[in-house]
Amino acid sequence: MADPARSDALVWDAAVRLHHWLLAGLVIFCSIQDDGGLVHRIAGYAAASAVVTRLLWAVFAKGHGSLAALKPSAAAVVAYVRGRAPRCIGHDPLGLWMVWLLWSLVLLLGLTGWMSRLDIFWGDERLQEIHAWLADALLVAVALHLLGVGGMSWWWRENLAAAMVSGRKRGPPA
Ligand code: HEM
Ligand code: HEM
């Protein structure tokens, strides 16, 4: 008989997965189409809205996508690193800080993009410079995110990217 403890568990619900790939696509799009034109601005606002929607969803979601599962903790990071990064079925404590960094940068890009076009900042280049700087920081954060996903997939012998597509991971945490 199949052991229910070994069967695949649904870790990322459809809303979390849809949000993830939509956000990734919009961030990549804004980074390539970076002229600040109408299409860039619409895609940028859509990215910021996707983050807000994800946070609202976290309030209602159960399990690994919920607000409770998104609470970062420095103590948990220390325990996790000391324990030589044991397998986590949801976000690992270190990766959780990266999740918040990615979301914060996207929200700040939306804010600075909007502010840079306000009349009171007419002729002032500083907001555009901050916007460009935030966009660079986001690209660095995404690169680290991909390194983290790749590294932990190797460490845990588990395809984490595939789990963000199917939503499923094998069995409960070790
Ligand atoms: C994920 C969100 C976003 C990303 C990744 C992003 C990224 C970028 C990048 C890479 C540039 C080129 C910076 C440079 O000159 O080197 C840029 C320019 C610009 N962005 Fe965004 N952006 C985002 C959202 C927005 C939003 C929501 C607005 C809303 C108005 C906006 C308005 C602009 C404008 C006006 C420029 C042109 C600035 C200039 O003339 O130099 N962006 N953005
Ligand atoms: C611009 C590109 C990307 C951005 C902005 C981004 C952002 C994020 C965010 C915010 C989360 C947290 C998801 C949530 O809890 O709702 C996340 C998780 C995740 N992302 Fe990405 N992502 C990007 C690209 C990618 C790519 C290309 C892959 C696959 C190779 C990937 C794989 C994952 C995985 C596997 C997780 C879950 C991590 C875990 O198991 O803890 N991401 N990403």
CATH number at residue 98: 1.20.950.20
Write down the pLDDT at residue 9: 87
Give the pLDDT band (50/70/90) at residue 172: low
* Count of structural domains within the chain: 1
Determine the distance separating the centroid of ligand 1 and the alpha carbon of 32, expressed in angstroms: 10
User: Is the residue at 35 inside a domain?
Assistant: yes
Q: How do residues 23-82 score in pLDDT, each as one tens digit? A: 999 999 999 999 999 999 999 999 999 999 999 999 999 999 999 999 999 999 999 999
Has this prediction a pTM greater than 0.75? yes
Task: State which ligand 2 atom lies nearest to the alpha carbon of 150.
Answer: 30
Higher pLDDT, 93 or 8: 93
Write down the pLDDT at residue 113: 98
The stretch 86-97 carries a mean pLDDT of 96
User: Is the residue at 3 inside a domain?
Assistant: no
Write down the pLDDT at residue 122: 93
Closest residue by CA, ligand 2 atom 31: 161
Mutate to test the pocket of ligand 1, among 109, 115, 125, 138 (most ligand atoms within 8 A of CB): 109
**Average model confidence (pLDDT) across the chain:** 94
User: Is the residue at 4 inside a domain?
Assistant: no
User: Is the residue at 126 inside a domain?
Assistant: yes
Is the distance from the beta carbon of residue 12 to the nearest atom of ligand 2 less than 6 Å? Answer: no
Write down the pLDDT at residue 7: 58
Determine the distance separating the centroid of ligand 2 and the alpha carbon of 119, expressed in angstroms: 36
Report whether pLDDT(118) > 50.
yes
Write down the pLDDT at residue 173: 47
Report whether pLDDT(18) > 60.
yes
Token pair, residue 35, equals 């002229």
User: Is the residue at 156 inside a domain?
Assistant: yes
User: Is the residue at 55 inside a domain?
Assistant: yes
Q: Nearest bound ligand to CA 24?
A: 2
Q: Nearest bound ligand to CA 11?
A: 2
Closest residue by CA, ligand 2 atom 16: 16
Write down the pLDDT at residue 136: 98
Determine the distance separating the centroid of ligand 2 and the alpha carbon of 56, expressed in angstroms: 18
Cβ–Cβ < 8 Å for 90, 69: yes
- Could you tell me the residue range of the domain that residue 28 belongs to? 9-170
Write down the pLDDT at residue 32: 98
Cβ–Cβ < 8 Å for 86, 31: no
User: Is the residue at 22 inside a domain?
Assistant: yes
Give the pLDDT band (50/70/90) at residue 8: confident
Give the pLDDT band (50/70/90) at residue 3: very low
What does each C-alpha distance from 17 to 12, 56, 163 come to in angstroms? 6, 15, 9
